[in-house]
Amino acid sequence: MTESLAAVILGIVEGVTEFLPVSSTGHLILVGHLIGFTGEKADSFDVIIQLGAILAVVCLYWRRFWWLVSPKPLHAFSGIRGLWLLFLTSLPMGLLGLIARKTVKAHLFNPTSVALALAVGALMIFWVERRKTRDRYYSLDEMTPGLALGIGCFQCLSLWPGFSRSAATIMGGMLLGAKRSLAAEYSFIGAVPLMFAATLYDFYKSAHLFSADDLGVLGIGFVVSFVSALIAVKAFIVLVQRITLRPFAWYRLALAGAVFFFWPK
């Protein structure tokens, strides 16, 4: 398989799974092993093409991001307050990620670890959906510092590849009183600062692994990731207003079982 074709496949996987509660990192690790795209360079490629998915969210929610620098009096999630909420959400995982980045890459970027994280995350989804938590927050403008920080703490679970950042933040939001649709929407928006910083940091740390010849492959992964994420986020916004997260949990369990029982040992 050529590197260009691998970039297309991984770009699709990244874009489709990044904002769904199924773990993009986990899928990238599994698919990367299947197509023989592994190693330190491949791990960094997976992180770098996230930038395409990030920009897809910025395009879809461009008004909300614009209001962060051009405040709207009638919208509480704007200006300094909106930036402060995003900072609180990003802080816990940002600090923990800096400390644990090398350890995570060294020990958890493997199919067995991913399968276990998929299964644990699925069981947590079932548990959260069964809880009778009363919704207290319905829109971004009702977000509070406590809710933002709490979601940020739950986001730390996604350092375990396969758990899913989206699943962690959506479940965290729901447990803390956010309506499912709000938890999903904030999961998209709240991911942008942290993912953008993590992508740039990873590229800085791993730039020596790439040459000028790799820019084309990175570009392909970026563009495909961007387009795929646009489609996936729009579809998920519609779905999350109509269904629970249980179908995603069943998918996670099926995939975890397939990896445990059929993955070459």
Average pLDDT, 10 consecutive residues per value, the chain (265 residues):
88 93 90 86 83 93 93 89 96 89 80 93 95 86 96 94 94 94 94 87 79 85 95 92 93 94 76
Angle (CA) 247-248-250 rounded to 5° is 65
Task: Check residue 229 and give its pLDDT.
Answer: 95
What is the total residue count of the chain?
Answer: 265
Flag whether the pTM goes above 0.85: yes
* pLDDT at residue 265 in the model: 60
Which range marks the domain in which residue 158 is found?
A: 3-262
Please report the pLDDT score of residue 1 as a whole number: 66
Among left, alpha and beta (phi > 0; psi -120 to 50; other), residue 233 is alpha
**How many structural domains comprise the chain?**
1
Report the first-to-last Cα separation within the chain, whole angstroms. Answer: 23
pLDDT score at 132: 64
243, 33 Cβ separation under 8 angstroms:
no
What pLDDT does 99 receive?
87
- Would you state the pLDDT for residue 104? 83
Name the nearest CA neighbour of 246 among 158, 129, 168, 120: 129
